[in-house]
Amino acid sequence: MLEEIKEKWPEILDFLKQEFELTDISFKTWILPLKVESFENNTLTLIFSGETKMSGLVYVNKKYCQLLKIAIEESINKEINLEITLPNDTEINEEFIDNLADQEMISLENRIQEANLDKKYTFDSFVVGSNNDIAQVTSLAAAESPGEIYNPLFIYGGVGLGKTHLIQSIGNFVLANNPNAKVLYTTSENFTNEVIDLLGNKKNKTSQEDIIEFRQKYRNVDVLLIDDIQFISNKDRTQEEIFNIYNDLFMKHKQIVFTSDRKPKDMEGIEDRLINRFEQGLTVDIHNPDYETRMAILKRKAESLGYDLDESVLQFIANNFTANVRELEGSLTRIISFSKIKRTEITLELAKDALKDLISPNQEEKITCESIINIVAEHYQISVSDICSSKRSKEFTIPRQICMYLCIEYTDDTLKQIATLLKKDNHATISYGKNKISKLMKTDAALKTSVDILKKKISPN
């Protein structure tokens, strides 16, 4: 049997690589260093002779042992036990291995956090359809071979279509597959505010070292992900910093990915030299999901929430929400919470009832206080119910007052109507809030950036 396995080894590895779609780098790092050692009592022993020894062994065991077992069994047509160990002359300490396994997990979590990523955004949870397949394939290729193929990768598309999901998937994939890779995700808003803090703050003069440290942070990465790049329009210093960081990374063959709500050519208030850079690699778009994709996304989402819903309910949502995946998901969660409140089963009737306020095709474009509050909540990653509450921590009061400011600016609703919506008894609170934001915008540049960006989110053109 040992001889047979040795003979078939190249074929087994080939199968493993193809079947489980291992990247070249993963294959080279983890699989090639494995040698067939012995076969006794139906147990096949492999030796891992990779550079990283103990920590490598732990990782290979965790990630590839099961897959290898399948590939081997497939080839020799027999069930076996599989053991992967280090060469004889290495001391193995079980406790050390257990600790390492834990550390590996912790260290991946830490790296995800340091990269500013959210681990829920992965390629695995991204539903591919005809609207996004090219963006998905090129993102995956960029993640597998950072800096080598599509550089920069520029992904554009409308609101709620999965740009953030994809760009973050790239980062998460790179971190999970390359233990040494450095990834950094940022939004252009966050980046702009960092630049303002560094350069614009005259009162609090920043030292040269802070500036160097800031630039180092962005230049010292293998993959830089900048989300919603459109918001740097008319921000000269920000554009200059991005231009310089871009050039530096590009020369070093480091991967850069941007997302935007429109293609580079249609971006206004951005220097030509930067637009040229955006167009230097590959530009791909995501458009509205077609019916099949909407159904697939809904099914996946329902499943992940632990629900097995009737086709008719999913069809109803898919037919009524066509232009935005976030709304699609939002409708589903609304139906679910509706059924919890009413303590009834989820039926088509219930779905219709739950969504009746949202389905008004001709009003979709109109800016309402509700839509403003939704945008502000989403922007600050807090819930609508926290905005419309009396919670007094700064985390909520500022976004709430920004809602007051924006509702007055963008709608004809009366102060009283706005107050009712925001659950305030006194409508004077609304004008107070508005004035406070107007004043703050004059002194607090970061707040002004956020409000400017919110205005663009409310009314993109």
Out of 50, 162, 399, 433, name the contact with ligand ADP by CB under 6 A: 162
Binding of residue 139 to ligand ADP (CB under 6 A): no
- Among the listed residues 12, 127, 415, 437, the single contact to ligand ADP using CB under 6 A: 127
Q: Which of 22, 153, 267, 297 binds ligand ADP (CB under 6 A)?
A: 297
380 contributes a contact to ligand ADP by CB under 6 A: no
Residue 5 Cβ, how far from ligand ADP at the closest point, in Å?
40
Q: Find the helix or strand (DSSP H, E) in which 395 lies.
A: helix 394-410
Does the protein bind ligand ADP through residue 298 (CB under 6 A)?
A: no
445: closest CA among 190, 198, 189, 200?
Answer: 200
Q: Which lies closer to Mg ion via its Cβ, residue 152 or residue 433?
A: 152
Ranked by CB distance to ligand ADP, the top (closest) residue is 162
- Return the residues of window 193-232 that contact Mg ion according to CB under 5 A: none
Q: Is 294 in the site for ligand ADP (CB under 6 A)?
A: no
Minimal CB distance residue for Mg ion: 164
* Shortest Cβ 91–ligand ADP spacing (Å): 46
- Residue 209 CB-half CA count within 13 A: 0
For 163-231, the DSSP string reads HHHHHHHHHHHHHHH-TT--EEEEEHHHHHHHHIIIII-STTPPPHHHHHHHHHHHHS-SEEEEE-GGG
Question: Residue 400: which of ligand ADP, Mg ion, none does it interact with, CB under 5 to 8 A by kind?
Answer: none
Tell me the backbone φ, ψ of residue 448, rounded to 5 degrees.
Answer: -65, -45
Q: Does 131 bind Mg ion (CB under 5 A)?
A: no
Tell me how far apart the alpha carbons of residues 451 and 407 are, in angstroms, rounded to a whole number. 12
The reply on whether position 330 binds ligand ADP by CB under 6 A is: no
Residue 38 half-sphere exposure toward CB, CA atoms < 13 A: 6
Site mask for Mg ion (CB under 5 A), range 157-186, x = bound: ------xx----------------------
Strand-pair category, 255-260 with 153-157: parallel
Q: Measuring CA to CA, how many Å separate 443 from each of 26, 362, 366, 448?
A: 50, 40, 32, 8
Interface with ligand ADP includes 326 (CB under 6 A)? Answer: yes
The residues that bridge with 156 in the sheet, in sequence order, are 260, 285
What ranges make up the beta strands (E) of 20-97?
A: 34-40, 43-48, 81-85
Structure tokens at 73: 């069994």
Q: Choose from ligand ADP, Mg ion, none: what does 387 bind? Cβ within 5-8 Å by kind.
A: none
153-157 vs 81-85, strand pairing mode? unpaired
Considering only 1-9, 155-163, 263-271, 400-408, which stretch makes contact with ligand ADP by CB under 6 A? 155-163
- Residues engaged in binding ligand ADP (CB under 6 A): 125-127, 132, 157, 159-165, 297, 325-326, 329
- Residues engaged in binding Mg ion (CB under 5 A): 163-164
